[in-house]
């Protein structure tokens, strides 16, 4: 199913709110540009020409259709998946940084989190507002500054063990309709072992640390 291969990390631009800072931060780590449907218009408005655009094209402008080379446009009309999923399932890259999948459409944002936790395609980090969000791996170690906010949000039943958190998670049962783990605090180096579907949420200043953990 792969339609776009890149030896370099990819910045994937969605049709939601995208700031120039989002793009600058993402491109610093992932220089290749791809877009989900109307995200191509955000790319063009910032002077960027996407290497690939995926989606049903229901929000892609006529200007984008006329500007982007036809062989970079991957029209996928089926409605059983979101444009975010269409993109990730067709990109082969070391990792993807996704911007423009938040904003005022919370249904789109929740759908993006659903795709993240199902681990579609290559490793992916979602940059949204002040945060970076990634599906938590079975184990991860991060050297973070003491006082850094760390949140764990379950997308299904989950358990784990921790070292280096102000409030340890050992022996706790997490669930979307039960206990969640938001706004914990890092004491220094943090080590997590996790079992289940759970999202790791950190301040966007920790993006480089997350990427280094891949």
8 A C-beta contact, residue 172 and residue 159:
yes
Q: Using CB atoms within 10 A of its CB, is residue 156 exposed (0-12), middle (13-18) or buried (19+)?
A: exposed
Nearest to 203 by CA among 152, 132, 147, 144: 132
pLDDT of 103 reads 72
In sequence order, what are the beta bridge partners of 75?
55
pLDDT of 79 reads 78
Nearest to 83 by CA among 17, 132, 38: 38
**pLDDT tens sequence across 93-140:** 999 999 999 877 888 899 999 999 999 999 999 999 999 999 999 999
Q: Using CB atoms within 10 A of its CB, is residue 54 exposed (0-12), middle (13-18) or buried (19+)?
A: buried
Angstrom distance (rounded) from CA 96 to CA 157: 26
CATH architecture of structural domain 4-128: 3-Layer(aba) Sandwich (3.40)
Angstrom distance (rounded) from CA 105 to CA 82: 13
Would you tell me how many other CB atoms lie within 10 Å of the CB of residue 88?
28
Angstrom distance (rounded) from CA 16 to CA 108: 8
**pLDDT tens sequence across 10-33:** 999 999 999 999 999 999 999 999
H runs (alpha helix) in the chain: 20-29, 39-45, 62-67, 83-88, 106-117, 207-212
The tally of CA atoms less than 13 A away on the side-chain side of residue 50 is 32
Angstrom distance (rounded) from CA 146 to CA 188: 5
8 A C-beta contact, residue 20 and residue 42:
no
**Residue 97: helix, strand or coil by DSSP?**
strand
Give the start-to-end residue ranges of the domains of the chain: 4-128, 135-212
**pLDDT tens sequence across 55-98:** 999 899 999 999 999 999 999 988 788 999 999 999 999 999 99
pLDDT at position 1 over 70: no
pTM check: above 0.75? yes
Return the exposure string of 186-214: e unless at least 16 CB atoms fall within 10 Å of the residue's CB, then b: beeebebbbebbbbbbbebebbebbbebe
135-212 CATH pick, 3.40.50.800, 3.40.50.1820, 2.60.120.320, 3.40.1440.10: 2.60.120.320
């Amino acid at each position: 199913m792969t339609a776009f291969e890149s030896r370099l990390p990819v910045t994937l631009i969605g049709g939601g709110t995208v700031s120039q800072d989002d793009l600058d931060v993402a491109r610093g780590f992932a220089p290749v540009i791809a877009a989900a449907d109307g995200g191509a218009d955000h790319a063009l408005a910032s002077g960027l020409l996407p290497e690939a655009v995926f989606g049903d094209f229901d929000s892609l402008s006529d200007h984008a259709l006329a500007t982007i080379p036809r062989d970079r446009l991957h029209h996928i009309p089926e409605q059983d998946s979101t444009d975010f999923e269409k993109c990730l399932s067709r990109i082969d890259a070391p990792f993807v940084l996704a911007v423009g999948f938040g904003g005022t459409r919370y249904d789109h944002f929740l759908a993006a989190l659903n795709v993240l936790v199902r681990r579609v395609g290559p490793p992916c980090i979602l940059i949204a507002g002040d945060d970076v969000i990634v599906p938590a791996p079975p184990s991860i170690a991060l050297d973070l500054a003491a006082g850094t906010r760390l949140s764990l949000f379950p997308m299904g039943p989950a358990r784990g063990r921790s070292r280096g958190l102000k409030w340890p998670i050992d022996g706790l049962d997490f669930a979307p309709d039960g206990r969640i783990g938001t706004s914990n605090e890092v004491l220094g180096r943090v080590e997590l072992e996790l079992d289940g579907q759970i999202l790791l949420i950190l301040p966007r200043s920790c993006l480089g640390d997350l990427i280094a953990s891949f």
